[in-house]
Chain A
Amino acid sequence: MESVDYQNVISDKDIRRFPISITTTEVNLTGSWRFYKPVFKEKISPCSVGCPANTNIPKYIHYLLKNDMDKAAEILRRENPFPATCGRVCPHFCQSKCNRKDYDGAVEIKQIERFVGDYALKVPPKKVKVLSNKKVAIVGGGPAGLSCAYFLALSGYRVDVFEKERFLGGLLVYGIPDYRLPKEIPIKEIENILEVGNINVNVGVNVNREKIEELKKEYNAVFVALGLSIDKVPGDVVVDNKRVFSGYELLKEIKVNGNVYLDGDSISVLGGGNVAFDIARSIRRLGKDVNIICMETLETSPAFEDEKKEAIEEGIKVIDSRFLQDLEFRGDGLHLQLRGVDKVLDNYEPVLNDYIEGIDTDILIVAIGRKREESILGTEGVFFGGDFYNGAKTVIEAIASGKKVAFEIVAKLEGKEFKLMNDDDQFFRSTDDFDEYKVIPFERINLNYFSEQEPIKLSKLAANERVNNFNEVVQKPSLEKILREAKRCFSCGVCNECKTCWFFCPDMCIDVHEGVNFDYSFCKGCGVCSEECPRGVIEMVEDK
């Protein structure tokens, strides 16, 4: 705060002659008037709670808006080493919790994350020195295993990763099709993870129960995240890899080789989840006629809405509310007998009706789910995580579980107790970049500082531009669009240096710079700053 240099032209004698004020009121320390004082307490945004990895979304958005991309990337990667991947494939649980949702539509966090994540691809994280001679073995190089490795490496532990395939990445690299997630993205992110150092990779190692027992002896801790490796298949169906295929295996082949040979032009996919839609859309891209047969109605089938919509746009036919009752080999093809389904119960059992229909198809691809290799589960004294432990979930949940286990391991190795922020909650952040565990509800947002504005729309390749290739469907949004969207964020509970408090402090007691500093010598404790902060960052606490 600047103040004038009072000229020294007036003597003591003068002020006995003239009623002239020559010094500043700064001699009055008005802070002594105060009963309450403002304190800076950053809190938790609901989107952060929604995000299984508890990413500090408003914080990285803040740095994005400040044009400090390095910092934005750093903050994002503090909680999630796969932001470019998640920015593409994550269902964005955060958005469903966004405070803006019922105001004018949730912030398109996904697009923002993708944007920052893509930037982060080019900035490898800093190397970290080994700080401990304790070692951890990680089995399974999917997102769960690699996240665990990443956070352990960041904490200064040595990690050995054991992966069955010849490459790391799990479903990111051999599952999710390129038109949604070009494989270069996770591959680059994995490279960046390895840049941290301390991680030793062993590929082509199929780990079984015995091997785990060995690892337990050799290592101070073992984390197992093998994903789901066994296909679920309807009772009387046999995967023969001629007429009947596993969707998962085909996806892997397509992802790794870019193509697969299928003898026939009309293909049916069994299943209503993302995998079914992914395999259907991939096969469609190879020039085949594809239909999807699922028990649920199209609306209630568990695949992401965008997937369904895009699949239909691409000419995939969905035969919904149908149960595969029978399958017959007829000549070079198959005849499928389908029963009508009234509804699907919670345990995935269909309630059938009398409707019967038969369809002919060249090939049937089964994609109704996978299960884990149970034999490994019983091993004592190891940590489990990812899909292997939680069932078929999502990339971000795999990451979150890997991260959480990493810190459980750290706590264990350091002889400390591992605690979540809140027992009811799964909240876990690797950093304490908040001052109070309090989630800012919509009511705490001072709406006077915002006006309604629609979220940005994604730009996608048109159906005809995408059906014959594996190019990414969702186009990279422009910087301008991303910034516009980022500005919509309320930044719930997280200071974005908006300076509203500074503006409204009648006593010039606020300095906003990487947070807020109060000048308690003069702050009268009025509380205006706290009331006006658009996002509930400042709290008034009793003083004296």
Chain B
Amino acid sequence: MDFREVTNIEYMNQGDFACPGCGAGLSMRHALKVLGDNTVIVMPASCWSIISGVFPTAALQVPLMHVPFATAAAVASGVKNAFRKKGQEDVNVVCWAGDGGTFDIGLQALSGAAERKEDIIYVCYDNEAYMNTGIQRSSATPPGAWTTTTPTGNPLIYEKKDMFNIVVSHNPAYVATSTIAYPDDFYQKFEKAKNAKGFRFIHLLSACPPGWRIDSKDSVKAMRLAVESGVFVLMEKEQGKPVKVTYKPKGLVPVREYLLFQGRYKHLNEDTVNEIQIMINEHLMSLGLL
């Protein structure tokens, strides 16, 4: 991607409260560059509740409403229906939720909205734990990862919930995984989501330096390594078409490299790393990537 061709218009203000190197802030910045100003954001409890600024200041230049943790997709349904009734069908109504607000507490509302084919875009920025409350485990926390509620590591039998396929099973307009470390992929998918009609879901892997116990400078690198090691697979599913892997890592980086540079995995021993590698290999095989 030629970054010189990316618009200079920003829809986010400086002075937000994201930690240094936060992937969630960066992802929002670029998502809005694609979505543009004809967009409203519905935001459940998450780090972004804080990132967006303290009353009466705002970090976003598009309308934003904060909502209770479990409600994003339902609120967005209400917003979209209201806009439709007002003749503003074209407004992008976007849920911007964490993994907790998506995989866990918000899953029911999400499923409802997906099943009703609500015309909204649901973005989950997945930092793989409840970060806002201080790094507790969610059902998006990967096996082995340290959190404050998995102090000796998330049990390996807790495989990360397969949100992509959960959403796919609702047969919505568009489902994708992406991460801002792959700018082309990210921009293309947001563009596709923006142009589709119906329920659209984008699952973004989003590095969290304090939660992953990495140096803030390595945040993009971490997201990239997740993809290069096959831990996070970039894919999409357009309605009526088969699932498509949108990026195939050139040579798979051993998962060890991804895991062991993060503090949250540093307690892992060789055997556990190997077990995780096997889990990943199996997943990659099921996708025909190995």
User: Which residues from chain A sit less than 8 Å from chain B, CB to CB?
Assistant: 1-4, 15, 19-30, 33-34, 448, 497-500, 502-509, 519, 521-522, 524-528, 530-532, 540
Contacts and interface: CB of A to CB of B under 8 A. Distances in A.
Contacts of B209: 526
A21 B58 contact: yes
Given A25-B57, A28-B17, A498-B3, A504 B9 contact: no
Contact of B16 (A3, A29, A507): A507
Interface in B16-32: 16-23, 25-26, 29-30
A519 to B, nearest CB: 7
Given A25-B53, A506-B26, A528-B21, A540 B217 contact: yes
A515 B46 CA distance: 37
A3 B15 contact: no
A508 B9 CA distance: 11
A527 B216 contact: yes
18 contacts: A3-B13, A23-B56, A25-B14, A25-B16, A25-B57, A26-B14, A28-B53, A499-B6, A503-B30, A504-B180, A505-B26, A506-B25, A522-B15, A526-B217, A526-B219, A527-B215, A528-B21, A528-B217
Contact of A504 (B8, B26, B58): B26
A25 B3 contact: no
A508 B7 CA distance: 13
Given A21-B56, A531-B218, A503 B3 contact: yes
Contact of B4 (A3, A21, A448, A499): A499
Interface of B: 3-4, 6, 8-10, 12-23, 25-26, 29-30, 52-59, 61, 180, 183, 209, 215-221, 224
Contacts of B53: 21, 24-25, 28
A525 B217 CA distance: 9
Nearest to A15: B56
Given A23-B57, A506-B21, A448 B224 contact: yes
Contacts of A20: 56
Given A20-B56, A24-B15, A503-B3, 10 more contacts: A21-B57, A22-B58, A26-B15, A27-B15, A499-B6, A506-B29, A519-B14, A527-B21, A528-B217, A532-B220
Contact of A499 (B3, B16, B29): B3
A504 B220 contact: yes
A535 to B, nearest CB: 13
A509 B55 contact: no
A30 B15 contact: yes
Closest 6 CB pairs of A and B: A527-B217, A526-B21, A526-B20, A25-B15, A28-B15, A499-B3
Nearest to A35: B20
Contacts, number: 127
Contact of B20 (A26, A33, A497, A504): A33
A34 B21 CA distance: 12
A24 B224 CA distance: 32
A215 to B, nearest CB: 54
Secondary structure call for the B interface: loop
A2 B10 contact: yes
Contacts of A448: 224
Given A526-B21, A540-B217, A507 B57 contact: no
A146 B209 CA distance: 58
Contact of A2 (B9, B15, B219): B9
A521 B13 CA distance: 13
A526 B57 contact: no
Contact of B3 (A27, A500, A507, A519): A500
Contacts of B61: 3-4
A65 to B, nearest CB: 10
Contacts of B23: 506
A15 B55 CA distance: 9
A509 B180 CA distance: 18
Contact of A506 (B4, B18, B183): B18
B23 to A, nearest CB: 8
Contact of B56 (A22, A33, A526, A528): A22
B55 A21 contact: yes
A123 B113 CA distance: 66
Contacts of A26: 13-15, 57
B14 A507 contact: yes
B29 A25 contact: no
A15 to B, nearest CB: 5
A21 B56 CA distance: 4
A502 B3 contact: yes
A279 B60 CA distance: 73
Contact of B217 (A2, A3, A27, A531): A531
A531 B29 CA distance: 19
Nearest to A24: B13
Of the candidates B10, B14, B221, the one having the most CB atoms from chain A within 10 angstroms of its own CB is B14
Contacts of B22: 506
Nearest to B5: A499
A503 B6 contact: yes
B258 to A, nearest CB: 14
Contacts of B57: 21, 23-28
Given A22-B56, A23-B58, A528 B14 contact: no
Nearest to A501: B3
B21 A498 contact: no
